[in-house]
Homo-oligomer: A and B are copies of this chain.
Amino acid sequence: MSLKSSVFIATSLDGYIARPDGSLDWLDRANESIPEGEDCGYQVFMESVDVLVMGRNTFEKVLSFGGDWPYGSKPIVVLSRSHVAIPDAIAQTVSASSEPPRVLVERLATTGAQHLYVDGGQVIQSFLREGLIDEITLTLLPVLLGAGKPLFGRLDQDVELMHIATKAYEFGFVQNTYRVIKK
């Protein structure tokens, strides 16, 4: 399969993507220390992405922020076993799917997609378990939360990684990129 699936996400040093109640105040506060115009490679990454796959929790979180839809015309698939309410304003680019991860990836590959951005804790975990993640870019923020929603979860076997790059930002973020070694 010529399709590549990537994770691009930030966590606390203790591995959380959100507090137990889903709040991102710690992330917002950390982002205040970032110089104007710095996005830790997000825009360049997004430009390389053909389709963004996220879970319903992540989708609803993004909607809850209000304001403009942050993903422009990027095609989005919201993975959910239950019904997902998609506002009319974004219905052209956002679709819902209950496909298993592998079925979704294979279908998107046949549509010509070459690079998937897999986002949201549960979706990332299920893709990792299925061996469907190729690259992980993980930005570590300099804070310990002590509790929250973990990025990583249970696996059926070890996932061996190859370290590709590390960038330490002067404002204290450390971004590590790994390639998943497929067995």
User: Which residues from chain A sit less than 8 Å from chain B, CB to CB?
Assistant: 13-15, 26, 128, 136, 138, 140, 142-147, 150-163, 165-166, 168, 172-174, 176, 178
A156 nearest in chain B by CB position: B146
Task: Check A147 against B155 for contact (C-beta < 8 Å).
Answer: yes
When A13-B152, A15-B15, A138-B13 are in contact, do A146 and B159 touch as well, CB less than 8 Å?
A: yes
Contact assessment for A178 and B13 in the assembled complex, using a CB-CB cutoff below 8 Å: yes
The answer to whether A15 touches B144, judged by C-beta atoms less than 8 angstroms apart, is no
- The residue that A152 contacts in the complex, of B146, B151, B152, B173, with Cβ under 8 A, is B146
Query: Are A15 and B146 in contact (CB-based, < 8 A)?
Result: no
Query: Residue A143 contacts which of B128, B143, B161, B168 (CB distance < 8 angstroms)?
Result: B161
Alpha-carbon gap, A163 to B152, bound state (A): 23
In the A-B complex, the 10 residue pairs with the closest CB atoms: A146-B155, A163-B172, A14-B152, A166-B168, A142-B161, A144-B159, A15-B15, A142-B163, A146-B154, A166-B174
Which of B150, B155, B173 is in CB contact (< 8 Å) with A145?
A: B155
